[in-house]
Amino acid sequence: MAAADPIRNKKQLRQMLDYCLSRGQVRDYALIVLGVHTALRISDLLCLRWSDVYNFELGVFRTHLAVTEKKTRKRKMIALNKHALQALRLYFPQRRGSYIFQSNRHTAAAISRTQAYRIIRAAARAAGITEQISCHSLRKTFGYHAWKSGVSAVLLMDIYNHSNYNVTRRYLGVTQDDLDLAYLEINFM
């Protein structure tokens, strides 16, 4: 299996989201938005239920998402930013079950990893993305853009539960162009 790439071009990411909305696929839009804004693995993302993000007693969306990661068994608190909340609010009136990413075929199940892959790949193709895109690309996209905007590699290592910087560096898809830019843009004078 080939390694997944992050979605480096923000315009193409926006085109993916526009593709979903133009086809009336609000669930798929929410999947991509939550994927890139929470950095969750697809296995954790697909298990999310509405009660994880919405307090039905108070009638409000939660500010944080509490998740126990399947792979690491570590408990994690993730702040839901305005983009994630906007996508959830848009999709909330269309909910059909307890899972956020409810299957259209099975009333008591979330979509499968395979279906999530198909959704992400179709949106990426529609946006003209030629890199290797998979479900994991959403998680990597979070890190790549966080790193490009100045988030410390140490914080990203913690978010991803990586044991060393080299794993995180590979994960972020740091290219020679990124390294060149660091040399060319530095100014001490």
Confidence of residue 51 (pLDDT cuts 50, 70, 90): very high
Least confident of 7-21, 91-105, 147-161, 171-185: 171-185
Confidence of residue 2 (pLDDT cuts 50, 70, 90): low
Reduced to 3 states (helix: H, G, I; strand: E, B; else coil), residue 126 is helix
pTM, 2 dp:
0.90
Mind telling me the catalytic residues? 41, 71, 136, 139, 162, 171
Reduced to 3 states (helix: H, G, I; strand: E, B; else coil), residue 76 is strand
- Give the per-residue pLDDT at 173: 73
Residues 6+ away with beta carbon under 8 Å from 188? none
Residues 6+ away with beta carbon under 8 Å from 146? 155, 156
Q: pLDDT, tens digit, for every residue of 143-161?
A: 999 988 889 888 998 899 8
- Closest of 162, 169, 7, 31 to residue 94, by C-alpha: 31
**Phi, psi at 67, each rounded to 5°:** -130, 140
Output DSSP code: residue 102: B
CA distances to 63, 153, 181, 184 from 187, in Å: 39, 21, 12, 8
Q: Which domains does the chain have, with CATH numbers?
A: 10-185 (1.10.443.10)
- Give the per-residue pLDDT at 1: 44
The answer to whether the CB of 141 falls within 8 A of the CB of 6 is yes
